[in-house]
Every structure is written in structure tokens, then in C-alpha cells.
């Protein structure tokens, strides 16, 4: 009897090829798309901040029809608003820079869809993530970096519960993006040449600051001043801390003798501190709400990524199990360690876990 697998299909080429490969491997495949956002309220272009839009749903349906598999669309707008959009807005208003894809994976793909998998009597949930799952040297299920360093998405998967790993399939784990494109063409998929989605899926092409301004009441967008670090001299005014992120240089509207970068954002005083690039480098960070897929050893040497496009840097992990306080000390100072982003730790190619930078 064929094993049944539920495939999360976003309408993009990656998840479509994942479904196609599983069909070829003999699985009983069911496709599902999450309708997470009303895209009629924002302007979007192909590849610019869309995921599961009406066009994407249509593409996923066409792929499912082409592959000859059942296909469902489930409305996830309410949980997406609760667990992804609202925390995203709150984070920016608190002077942080969020990582909404982590919450989407945590609360929708590997929570809501796991339940849907069970409801549909499926044995597995599959996605188009570039990641691998296998047993580690301690015979524990673990997540490993994919075969494509540029597309690897394990950074966004650190909150995944180890208990569900045996139920998850990542069919693209050993493939590179160009190989996925070729497979899509071989399969005759309608979206084989579709652009990759970049940016934040629900923001569209108007930008995150404008999105926040449209979503919240004006009294939450209080103006403040921009100060020069470390003197405190006022260099100008701003219309809200949501317009800034750590390390930002462009769009400051300041004239100065040397390039200035955002160094700190204080939501209480609404002061935005700027200064020379050298002040952006720090050698330590602290995490809150750490999540570990498998046990870590306090003091162990790991590789830590502080943002998705960060290559990762050697560091030591200090973990107090009683207080759950995590401190990461890098061998070399790192640029723009940003509150609200996530820091993710690896032991070689194995994803250990991580947490949110304070």
C-alpha cells in the first residue's frame, strides 16, 4: 500500500517539484495550499513578496492537475494574522527587526499543516524547503543543511519539534536550484520558469514601513529624533522608529562628514542612534526563548548565523539550563547584530537550534 503524503504547495517551482518527485517515487500525494493573505489589498508583481496569492493558488492547482493529485486550499488568514503579521508589526514598533518566516514555519507549516496531515490520514508532510532530515551520530533525528548553500533554508527551521521530524519530508534536500528548474521543465510544470519569491510575502511592493503605517493607528507612530553616537547630538527628526533597522545606511536623510549607520533604536524615548560603521561590530549576543532540536553542551564550539544571508561564524555557546539564558561569544566581532532577528547554531552541518536576539 502506498504511503500517503501531504505536500504544502505555495505555487512556486520548489514545492511543485517536491510534489512531482514524490509522485515519481510512488507516494500517494495530496497537495494543499494555505491561503494566508488577501492580496487584493496590495500591489504585487511576480516574485516580489508574494506567497499563496490568487495567482500562486492557481499555479499550484494547475500543477496538481498536471500531476494527477488531489488538491485542497485551506483558509489560514486568521492564524497567519495572529502568529505572523501582528507579531511582525509589534516587533518593528518595539525597535526590532523581525523574521516572520520563522513564525510562519512554526505556527502554520509545521503545526497547522501537521494537524491537517493527520486529518487527511497522511503519513508524512512534505515541503519545498532546501533542507535535509536524517539520523545524527547519536541516532537522533536531526535537520541538516541542504546541498545548495545559496538556497539553504534551515535557518528558518530551528523551532521545529524533534518529535515531528520522522513525519517530514524535504524532497529537495540534495538538489541545487538549477537542478530543480530542469526537473520542473522535464515534468512540464506550468511554473518551471516562474521567478522566486523574495521579500516579505504579505507586504507586497510598497515596503514594510508603509505596510505598518497602513495597519496601525497613527498614535502608535510617534516621531522622535536621530542622535549621533556617542555624543548624543541631535542630527534630525524622524516619523517613527518603524522606519529603521540596525545597520541601515540609506534613507536616513542626514548630511554628515562620514557615512552613518543605525546603531541603536530606543522605542521608549524614540531616539534613533547613528554613528560610524565601526560601532556596529559586537562580539557577543544574548538569546531569548531558545529552541533546541537536540541537546547542546554549554561551552561547546558552534557555528552561528545571525541573519539568513550571514555565512555563519565560529562561536561558543553558553547555556544555563535553569534560567534558559543563552549567551553566544564569537571568535571575531560580527556586524549589525540585530534585536528581533534570530541567531541559529550549527554543529557542522547539523542544525542545533537558536533563539531571538535581544
Q: Any idea which residues carry the catalytic annotation? A: 104, 201
Determine phi and psi for 334, rounding to 5 degrees.
Answer: -115, 145
Distance (Å, whole) CA 63 – CA 316: 46
- Residues 184, 189, 194: CA angle, nearest 5 degrees: 80
Distance (Å, whole) CA 249 – CA 74: 41
Task: Annotate 282-319 with DSSP letters as a single string.
Answer: EEEEEEEEEEESS---TTEEEEEESSTT---EEEEEEE
Distance (Å, whole) CA 103 – CA 289: 13
Query: What Å distances lie between residue 112 and 19, 124, 228, 239, 259, CA to CA?
Result: 19, 14, 46, 38, 46
**Residue that has been written with the C-alpha cell 514601513 in this structure:** 209
Amino acid at each position: 500500500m502506498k504511503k500517503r503524503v501531504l505536500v504544502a504547495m505555495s505555487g512556486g517551482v520548489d514545492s511543485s517539484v517536491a510534489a512531482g518527485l514524490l509522485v515519481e517515487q510512488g507516494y500517494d500525494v495530496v497537495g494543499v495550499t494555505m491561503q494566508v493573505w488577501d492580496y487584493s489589498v496590495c500591489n504585487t508583481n511576480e516574485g516580489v513578496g508574494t506567497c499563496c496569492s490568487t495567482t500562486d493558488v492557481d499555479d499550484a492547482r494547475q500543477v496538481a492537475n498536471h500531476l494527477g493529485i488531489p488538491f485542497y486550499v485551506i483558509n489560514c488568514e486568521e492564524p497567519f494574522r495572529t502568529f505572523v503579521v501582528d507579531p511582525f508589526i509589534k516587533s518593528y514598533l518595539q525597535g526590532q527587526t523581525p523574521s516572520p518566516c520563522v513564525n510562519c514555519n512554526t505556527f502554520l507549516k509545521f503545526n497547522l499543516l501537521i494537524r491537517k496531515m493527520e486529518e487527511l490520514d497522511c503519513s508524512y508532510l512534505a515541503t519545498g524547503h532546501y533542507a535535509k532530515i536524517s539520523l545524527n551520530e547519536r541516532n537522533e533525528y536531526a535537520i541538516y543543511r541542504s546541498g545548495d548553500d545559496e538556497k539553504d533554508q534551515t535557518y528558518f527551521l530551528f523551532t521545529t519539534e524533534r518529535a515531528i521530524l520522522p513525519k517530514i519530508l524535504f524532497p529537495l534536500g540534495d538538489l541545487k536550484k538549477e537542478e530543480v528548474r530542469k526537473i520542473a521543465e522535464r515534468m512540464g510544470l506550468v511554473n518551471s520558469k516562474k521567478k522566486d519569491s523574495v521579500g516579505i510575502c504579505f507586504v507586497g511592493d510598497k515596503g514594510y514601513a508603509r505596510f505598518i503605517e497602513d495597519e496601525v493607528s497613527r498614535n502608535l507612530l510617534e516621531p522622535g529624533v536621530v542622535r549621533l553616537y556617542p555624543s548624543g547630538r541631535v542630527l534630525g527628526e524622524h516619523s517613527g522608529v518603524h522606519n529603521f533597522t540596525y545597520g541601515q545606511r540609506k534613507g536616513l536623510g542626514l548630511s554628515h562628514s562620514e557615512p552613518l549607520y543605525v546603531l541603536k533604536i530606543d522605542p521608549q524615548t524614540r531616539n534613533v542612534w547613528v554613528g560610524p560603521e565601526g560601532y556596529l561590530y559586537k562580539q557577543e549576543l544574548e538569546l531569548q526563548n531558545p529552541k533546541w532540536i537536540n541537546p547542546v553542551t554549554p561551552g561547546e564550539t558552534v557555528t552561528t548565523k545571525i541573519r539568513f544571508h550571514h555565512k555563519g561564524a565560529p562561536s561558543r555557546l553558553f547555556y544555563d539550563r535553569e534560567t534558559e539564558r543563552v549567551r553566544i561569544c564569537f571568535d571575531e566581532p560580527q556586524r549589525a547584530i540585530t534585536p528581533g532577528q534570530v541567531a541559529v547554531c550549527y554543529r557542522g552541518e547539523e542544525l542545533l537550534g537558536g533563539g531571538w536576539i535581544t
